[in-house]
Amino acid sequence: MIIRRATPSDTDLVAELGHKFIHAAGMPPATIKECRTFCAHIIPQPMAGVFVSERGVIAGVAAPLYYKPSHMQVVELFWWAEDRQGQALLDAFEEWGVAMIMAPEVTGGDINMSTLEHFSHPGVEVLLKRRGYEGRDKTFRKVVK
């Protein structure tokens, strides 16, 4: 199976899979149209890494650390695979992230993956730790409206 960088022609696939993730994970709801609009915007961005398989996607962005612009943070936004290609998608995302961090003007950086406490399979945390990730943040959510 081929893992490749998403192109604008993949907008519908990325939106569909992202929409499934949003709803399965209990995220704030979005329509498929909202997902398509977002995906059409992010896919061509030079600081975005969106990778697809036949029925999988991983997407994230790279941005300088706000107080140290020479430090690049690569942040995963969503990751969903129905074709058992989750690790291969992560491989592609990490390769892209490392390339962003290795740019000449960047002095350091990190790749940030997140899991949802109420949704993620426990094996995902094990996988990430085996790949060198360490727990750093814990996010709390309060729904206001």
Reply yes or no on whether the pLDDT at 109 is more than 90.
Answer: yes
Answer yes or no: is 137 within a domain.
no
pLDDT of residue 121: 65
Kindly report the pTM of this predicted structure.
0.87
Query: What is the arithmetic mean of pLDDT over 9-13?
Result: 98
Amino acid at 39: C
Give Cα 51 distance to the centre of its chain. Answer: 9
The neighbour count for residue 97, using CB atoms within 10 Å, is 23
Answer yes or no: is 140 within a domain.
no
Identify the domain containing residue 44 by its residue range.
4-130
CA distances from 33 to 10, 36, 39, 108 (A): 14, 5, 10, 37
Answer yes or no: is 51 within a domain.
yes
Number of domains in the chain: 1
Answer yes or no: is 119 within a domain.
yes
Answer yes or no: is 117 within a domain.
yes
Query: Phi-psi category of 84—alpha, beta or left, where left has phi over 0 and alpha has psi -120 to 50?
Result: left
CATH number for the domain including 21?
3.40.630.30
